[in-house]
Structure 1
Amino acid sequence: MRTLLINLAVFLLMLVALVLLPPLGFDAYQALKRAWSAGDERALLPNYRGVDWAAQHFREFSRVSTTYFDFIGWRRAPFAGSTINIDAQGYRVHPAAPRREEAQVWFFGGSTTWGPGASDAHTIPARLQQHAGRTVFNFGESAYTAHQSYNLLMKSYLQGGKPGHVVFYDGANEVVIKCRAELGFYSTSHEVTIRERMSSTQLSMQLLSPTLELLGRGLRSVGASARSDMGYDCHSNEEKRRAIAAALVMDWSLARDLVQKNGGKFLAVLQPVSFTGSPQLGHLPAVRASAPLKAQYDAVYPELKRQLQAAGIAYADLTSMFDGEEYLYIDFAHVSPRGNDIAGARMSALLN
């Protein structure tokens, strides 16, 4: 009996270890990595010479978390820092930012709108406010697609507010997210994770889901690394890239109609990434080597433009906005404050 009880106790301890240790170990690894890291290497790029807040900004950025909301997916949790401030509703605020319902311009987009790599005063919405002389509210959020922005636009009208202008700054996430082989033309970046969690209906599977999620993430990463396309498929899947383009065309069309119905003017912007135009990338060798990702933009952006023209959707093509010899990009899509200032000035001229 004693031997049986000892074996049972050992088995239970092994079971508990199987369930708890992988996710706990992963969390501990991430915490130690943040504590011991010299910081985000992007702060050392030539873009930030003479910018004394860069290192602190990226430290703050690593501490920002998110929380879930139906239909729009997620928003950042409230945060108060020296370079990043997020209000109680999950929106990033900049100096002299208006209340949402009082803003003259609502600005929607993904992380390039939210502004990693820029302090509060140097995001695109903040610079647009400075250049245009109109109050601008930043609705941007990391990994947002145009459809999430459209859902958020509907929610915001229901909450109150009648801005004179609404800006949608899209394109980058339609490609880098939806062109992943495991995702579809209507996916968000978290679709696979949510599906895996919801399929775990048994208690045992719920307990094991964090461990299985880590395992699945690792296997997908290894599988993608072993393939020449790095896990993307838009370059070889014409049907998918056409569907991605059609979804953006519909989202912009619906957003335009909703804005006009509420007495505003709609500005759709096809945003630049490092693979469009001829920007300076000499300081980013990893980006220059990202041929599989570049192939996705080379496949999808022309299709987007073709469908937008066919549908008669007016938009601003700013895909070459960052051409030149200045160091603007800090990765494949985000730019440093000087780039955001250029974007703010360009879009200020488009508001009428």
Structure 2
Amino acid sequence: MRLLKFILINIITFTVLLLIINWACGLYLKKGNTQASRDALPNYQADPDYAKQIFKDYNSVKHIYEPFVGWKCLPYHGKTLTISKEGERVHTPTDTTSRAKVVHFFGGSTMWGEGSDDQHTIPALFNQSNPQYLVYNHGQLAYNTRQEVDALITLYSKNKHADLVIFYDGVNDAAFLCPKEITQLPAHRLVPMYRDKIYVGKSAVVKELLIDIFLDNILKVIHKFTYKPTADNSLYDCVSDPAKAEEIAEIMMKNWELAHEIITQRGGKFIAILQPAAFVGAPRTDHLKLDEALGENFRSVYTNIKRKIAERKHPWIFDMTDKFDGDELIYIDFCHVSSNGNEIIAREISSVVNNINGQEAITQ
């Protein structure tokens, strides 16, 4: 009994110490994170309080499982952010006049408008310049081109009309498919989490919980002081595995081509846009801390995409990766932007759309 009591006391003591050390490591990691919060970036210096509200609303967004695409936003109504009962971000139209044509925007969080309020997303700003259209924002956080095609199919299956569909892509296909844990394509950002948490059994769930409580922060601190990036221990493999970078780019192009076929066969028009990112072109990034390992792998995918765009010469694909080049503060991380970036892209899209409409008028 004395031996059992001694062992039990030591186990309890060790467990409590481990819990305390893991908690302390968490505090250390939090304190050691010198990266400025995004609302404190100079992009928002004109109204920092409003910026805080934008990110407060953003951090309040919750998601629910959605068939085929994986997830979707739950309805939400805040001071700067409104998500409809359909799970889509909405804005207030500039007027109430009748609109003859319908435009559907698809994309990830950049199209959704992360970093901006409802009236300064790309679709909202496009609508301000083009009030004759009825505009829908189908952007969802972390969606890539394959998920957008699935969302597009759902749109048509519900008998929704589309005169024009715009895909704004590149970042999520490149950034979230290059991690080594993505071992099979096509995929999306949450594939590793789904595989780790669904159909894994109770023992795996308990194991993960115990690691989170007792070891996770300790392991992160050890990694911080011992990790030296090399090709072998990189989190990404698009540089070390050029075939993967090529496959990601090809899948993305095929998704665009499939979307084009679906839409044009039903009487609509399709525009695909290769979006800007802080890792490509010559934008201002001195106010940010960027992950260069991600950047190298990201560029390997974008290089392939750009080559394919040049080879296939589809007139409906537009490369806008240079639109943020210059000294203006636009990025708030490697891909998201403040509202001035959305204004630039909205103007560019308006120009493309008006040019298409002008060419149609000439030929009619």
Same structural fold, with TM-score higher than 0.5 when normalized by the shorter chain: yes
- Once the two structures are superposed, residues 282-340 of structure 1 have per-residue CA deviations (whole angstroms, 9 ceiling, x without a partner) of 222x12xx321221232111211222333443410000011111111111101101110
Partner letter of residue 343 of structure 1? Answer: I
Partner letter of residue 44 of structure 2? Answer: Y
8 Å CA contact retained: 1:225, 1:231 = no
Matched, 1:322 2:324: yes
Matched, 1:196 2:196: yes
Give the aligned partner of residue 187 of structure 1: 187
Distance in structure 2 (CA, Å) of the matches to 1:119 and 1:225: 38
Partner letter of residue 168 of structure 1? Answer: F
1:339 corresponds, among 327, 341, 344, to 341
8 Å CA contact retained: 1:40, 1:59 = no
Per-residue deviation at 1:348? 0.8
Give the aligned partner of residue 139 of structure 1: 138
Identity %: 33
1:92 corresponds, among 83, 89, 109, to 89
1:257 corresponds, among 255, 258, 261, to 261
Per-residue deviation at 1:262? 1.6
Aligned residues: 332
8 Å CA contact retained: 1:193, 1:213 = no
Distance in structure 2 (CA, Å) of the matches to 1:155 and 1:248: 19
2:123 corresponds, among 122, 125, 130, to 125
Per-residue deviation at 1:244? 0.2
Q: Which secondary structure state, in structure 2, belongs to the residue aligned with residue 196 of structure 1?
A: helix
Structure 2 matches for 1:8-23, cutoff 5 A?
A: none
Give the aligned partner of residue 47 of structure 1: 43
2:72 corresponds, among 72, 75, 88, to 75
Give the aligned partner of residue 166 of structure 1: 165
Give the aligned partner of residue 278 of structure 1: 282
Per-residue deviation at 1:49? 2.3
Q: Which moved more, 1:305-314 or 1:57-66?
A: 305-314
Q: CA RMSD in A?
A: 3.6
Matched, 1:57 2:54: yes
Partner letter of residue 122 of structure 1? Answer: H
8 Å CA contact retained: 2:93, 2:128 = no
Alpha carbons of structure 1 residues 213 and 138: separation in structure 2 relative to 1, 3 Å: farther
8 Å CA contact retained: 1:65, 1:76 = yes
TM-score, scaled relative to structure 1:
0.82
Q: Which secondary structure state, in structure 1, belongs to the residue aligned with residue 141 of structure 2?
A: coil
Q: Which secondary structure state, in structure 1, belongs to the residue aligned with residue 59 of structure 2?
A: helix
8 Å CA contact retained: 1:110, 1:141 = yes
Q: Which secondary structure state, in structure 2, belongs to the residue aligned with residue 53 of structure 1?
A: helix
8 Å CA contact retained: 1:169, 1:268 = yes
8 Å CA contact retained: 2:236, 2:293 = yes
Give the aligned partner of residue 231 of structure 1: 235
Per-residue deviation at 1:198? 2.6
Distance in structure 2 (CA, Å) of the matches to 1:165 and 1:211: 50
Distance in structure 1 (CA, Å) of the matches to 2:326 and 2:45: 18
Give structure 2 stretches of 5+ with no counterpart.
357-364
8 Å CA contact retained: 2:274, 2:321 = yes
Per-residue deviation at 1:77? 1.2
- Once the two structures are superposed, residues 142-197 of structure 1 have per-residue CA deviations (whole angstroms, 9 ceiling, x without a partner) of 11110001000000111122121100000011111001111144221111111112
8 Å CA contact retained: 2:178, 2:298 = no
Distance in structure 1 (CA, Å) of the matches to 2:68 and 2:94: 26
Distance in structure 2 (CA, Å) of the matches to 1:127 and 1:117: 14
8 Å CA contact retained: 2:93, 2:127 = no
Give the aligned partner of residue 359 of structure 2: none
8 Å CA contact retained: 2:264, 2:270 = yes
- Once the two structures are superposed, residues 26-46 of structure 1 have per-residue CA deviations (whole angstroms, 9 ceiling, x without a partner) of xxx89xx8xxx9x97211222
Distance in structure 2 (CA, Å) of the matches to 1:168 and 1:225: 38
Give the aligned partner of residue 303 of structure 1: 304
